[in-house]
Amino acid sequence: MNLESLAQRVDEAAENAKPIKQLSHRNAFDLDQAYEIQRLAIQRRIDRGEQLIGLKMGFTSVAKMEQMGVHDMIWGRLTDSMLIENGGKAALSKYIHPRAEPEICFRISKDIDGEIDLKDLDEYVDGIASAVEIIDSRFENFKFSLEDVVADNCSSIGVVVGDWKTPSREISNLKMIQSFDAEIVAEGSTQAILGDPWKSLQAATRLAAKYNEPIKAGHIIMAGASTAAIFLKADSEVHVSVEKLGDVRFEVI
């Protein structure tokens, strides 16, 4: 099986905003091969001039892991083309079937080249912010196997990050609210992110080390969602508010 050609398929689907059939329908590949397809697909973006800006964690709630029949989180790579400024615009025409989910984001202050203990993570973080992730599976009907979604960079397509706040260890039970045009569409707590978003950051250091992906000073780590992701609506404003961390918003056009 040619992993590069599978990487090309997911990359072109994202680039052209055209859904494709699940890769696993006609190809058997395991989780490590799925991460290699992801790496190759992101390399194609880097070859086009994009820069790696960090990582995202997925399936960070126990409920979601159980639903998918897995016992570990998944992770994907973020590039600068996925960043939307706080208060900026997201054009629906660039996506297939985008959804938004409220998240917490960490900013890394010094290079990480191995797994870091939970208790030592403060040394590596200089900011925490409220955030929204836009996910947009490249697969028809948003349906995929675990290997498919990993190969597809865990559905990443957009991130909006709020104002950076001084890191606190006390973020394990913060209320998170996502609204569309001031109507609440999802509500949760940071508790749903592995019981504490810092644990998600710890898992990011473990998984990045396992797959030889260095985390650099200045990178951002999206810790995962606390609620279900909601389909974006044309001509609306998406607003996420996280207790203590503040607001983040963008306009859907």
- Asked if 98 is part of the footprint of ligand 0L1 (rule: CB under 6 A), the reply reads no
- Asked if 190 is part of the footprint of ligand 0L1 (rule: CB under 6 A), the reply reads no
Q: Which stretch binds ligand 0L1 (CB under 6 A): 82-90, 129-137, 183-191, 213-221?
A: 129-137
- Asked if 14 is part of the footprint of ligand 0L1 (rule: CB under 6 A), the reply reads no
Among 147, 224, 238, 245, binds ligand 0L1 (CB under 6 A): 224
By beta carbon distance, the residue nearest ligand 0L1 is 58
DSSP state of 243: T
- Asked if 176 is part of the footprint of ligand 0L1 (rule: CB under 6 A), the reply reads no
Q: What does DSSP say about strands 220-225 and 99-108: parallel, antiparallel, or unpaired?
A: antiparallel
Is residue 37 classed exposed, middle or buried when 0-12, 13-18 and 19+ CB atoms within 10 A define those classes?
A: buried
- Asked if 232 is part of the footprint of ligand 0L1 (rule: CB under 6 A), the reply reads no
What angle (nearest 5°) sits at the alpha carbon of residue 98, between those of residues 214 and 37? 40
Between residues 113 and 152, which has the closer beta carbon with respect to ligand 0L1?
A: 152
> CA-CA distance, 202 to 108, in Å (whole number)?
12
- Asked if 54 is part of the footprint of ligand 0L1 (rule: CB under 6 A), the reply reads no
The tally of CA atoms less than 13 A away on the side-chain side of residue 232 is 32
Q: How far is the CB of 123 from ligand 0L1 (least distance, A)?
A: 26
The tally of CA atoms less than 13 A away on the side-chain side of residue 135 is 27
Footprint of ligand 0L1 (CB under 6 A): 58-59, 133, 135, 137, 149, 154-155, 224-225
